[in-house]
A and B are shown apart, each in its own frame.
Chain A
Amino acid sequence: MSTLTAAPITAPTIEYGELAPMLIIFGAAMIGVLVEAFTPRYLRKSIQMPITVLSMVGAFALTVWQGVRGVRSAAAMGAIAVDGPSLFIWGAILLLAIVSVLLINDDDHFVAEAAAVPGSAEEDQALSQGGAHTEIYPLVLFAVGGMMLFPAANDLLIMFVALEVMSLPLYLLCGLARRRRLLSQEAAMKYFLLGAFSSAFFLYGTALLYGFAGSVDLKAIATALSTVGGQDALLFIGAATLGVGLLFKIGAAPFQAWKPDVYQGSPTPITALMASGTLIAAFGALLRVFWVALGDLDAEWTPVLWGVAILTMVVGAVLAITQTDIKRMLAYSSIAHTGFLLTAVVATGKESQNANALSGILFYLLAYGFATVGAFAVVTMVRDPGGEAGHLSRWAGLGKRSPLLAGIFALFLLAFAGIPLTSGFFGKYAVFAAAVAGGAVQLVIVGVVTSAMAAFFYVRVIVLMFFSDPAPEGPTIAVPSMGTAAVVTLSAAATVVLGVFPQPVLDLAHTAAQSLFVR
């Protein structure tokens, strides 16, 4: 029987300065909850919106400042790593969150009274009173805070808590669409049940790795890989179940099933936030776990991730071709992109090789995030009487009726396809180049072939928009609000700028990746 030694307890230290960007976001979320509690309904939105945007801008400024100052360390007793990749990911998530919030600001997309049964008198009454739940702003802030904590967590417990802080608000936000509420509620339920299921796997993996290493600290697990012997069962099963939880969050096959349903059913602004922010956060966490904690185990997990990457690319690209709903198609395209990104995760090797792969992934995530948010912003503007015109056939001839909008959407699609002069080209190039350098040539061949397949369905939409006749009773193009217009403009600008002058951002990603993840 082992006894616990009465070790002296010393108060831990917490570096509040380094954690400030996250603390600002969480603090603002709490202020948002108080605003909900104590201000009258008509005032809430005009208070929540500035709080949300200002806190995000403030957090972004602090992140930039830390990057300039060159903070590279693990804060809060090694539980949270504020290193180069963390800072880059924080910056990317915050930028994309700011853009998404401008889209969320259009409360036309959100239900007026979530508790009211669709089609009931209560709902009509809530609708006639106008406005929507302003709780969405604190919920978005909590989710963004979780997204920032998730990739920065340097210990599996913090990572689990961050996973839940990120996911729980998103489950709720998914169910808040104003139109097609049944779809939206169904998406929320599916996302919730599957998300909870996957987080249980994550947790069981954490438990087994704790059993293996005696600690949930990523560095301690890495050390234990070489010092602890004879516990291979715990290690392998733990790493595998942990991997299931993480692969679910990035939406890699065979854990991709939730993505199309959730992307289609959620309010489109929330889909934009999820498709960009969650993917970035989850990739950061995946990389940290596999490179820091399980780095010396790469001989075991690389073959598995090879298989997962190939399956993800093929499933995403093939199933996207058969889709008839624009949001579902974008969801499958997101799955395919997850696969492209995984090719670089597999390509580990020497430190310089890892830094190359990491900088490619970081750049790809940022470029893809902007194109995604922009594409979903365009989706919100093409409307049928019952809501957004989801079906692809409704998009026919859009280029003749609204050349500007269709042109911008085509730009995003070309960026997804990775055509030169768009951001997607350099992202894909950086990732595939890193994979080739890491010896994953076969993987890159699959990647290029599936890219070509993916390009087919992107181009098909462009052809549909520009070269087919508009439907007589076609969808209307909503006059965009200031926010939506700004989102589309910013995303388009980012996509072009990253495609024409990618060097500054590539350099930034490279610098951020140089330090790799702190150990």
Chain B
Amino acid sequence: MELYVPILVLAVLAAGFAVFSVGIAPFTGPKRWNRAKLDGYECGIEPTPQPVGGGRFPLKYMITAMLFIVFDIEIIFLYPWAVAFDKLGVFGLVEMVLFIVTVLVAYAYVWRRRGLDWD
């Protein structure tokens, strides 16, 4: 039974975080209503017929996708580390911090060079 306590704690934490974020948003976020926001929802793209084969699409979609892939995949190394976290001890922690700093350097570059700006 004790084995399930961490899962229970995790579930409570997750639910709490979800409720908290949704609950706090109306009070903290800015409210700017416009026509587009009240429109029917269709993935953010103008709901117009597209040419056969999908046509061209702006490069910024591709850049965003590539940035997502490259940062997303790095997380893979956290899984084996998380499994052996307690056995690796301080050494594992230090190495993983070094790894994340490396990723952060790349992130800082993307951020400062406006790779994350949509327009």
Residues of A within 8 A of B (CB): 8-12, 30, 33-34, 36-38
Contact = CB atoms under 8 A, between A and B. Distances in A.
A113 to B, nearest CB: 13
Interface string B50-79: 000000000000000000000000000000
A38 B88 CA distance: 35
A38 B105 contact: no
Contact of A9 (B88, B108, B109, B112): B88
B100 to A, nearest CB: 13
B105 to A, nearest CB: 5
Contacts of A38: 108, 112
A8 B88 CA distance: 10
Contacts of A8: 87
B92 A37 contact: no
Contact of B113 (A9, A10, A12, A37): A37
B27 to A, nearest CB: 34
B43 interface: no
Given A36-B113, A37-B111, A9 B84 contact: yes
Contacts, number: 31
A30 B91 contact: no
B116 interface: no
Interface in B82-119: 84, 87-89, 91-92, 102, 105-106, 108-109, 111-113
24 contacts: A8-B87, A9-B87, A9-B88, A10-B87, A11-B89, A11-B91, A11-B92, A12-B91, A30-B102, A30-B105, A33-B106, A33-B108, A33-B109, A34-B105, A34-B108, A34-B109, A36-B109, A36-B112, A36-B113, A37-B105, A37-B108, A37-B109, A37-B112, A38-B112
Given A10-B87, A11-B89, A37-B105, 10 more contacts: A9-B87, A9-B88, A11-B87, A11-B91, A30-B102, A33-B109, A36-B113, A37-B108, A37-B109, A37-B111
A interface SS class: helix
Contacts of B89: 11
A80 B80 CA distance: 22
Nearest to B88: A11
Closest 5 CB pairs of A and B: A37-B112, A11-B91, A9-B87, A37-B109, A37-B108
A12 B88 CA distance: 8
Contacts of A11: 87-89, 91-92
Nearest to B95: A14
Contacts of B102: 30
Contacts of A33: 105-106, 108-109
A361 to B, nearest CB: 34
A34 B105 CA distance: 6
Nearest to A30: B105
A11 to B, nearest CB: 4
A33 B105 CA distance: 7
B29 to A, nearest CB: 29
Nearest to B113: A37
B19 to A, nearest CB: 37
Contacts of A9: 84, 87-88
Contacts of B88: 9, 11
Contacts of A30: 102, 105
A133 to B, nearest CB: 11
Nearest to A8: B87
A210 B13 CA distance: 43
Nearest to A34: B105
Contacts of A37: 105, 108-109, 111-113
A12 B109 CA distance: 31
Contacts of B91: 11-12
A30 B98 CA distance: 12
Contacts of B84: 9
Nearest to A26: B102
A315 to B, nearest CB: 38
A12 B92 CA distance: 9
Contacts of B112: 36-38
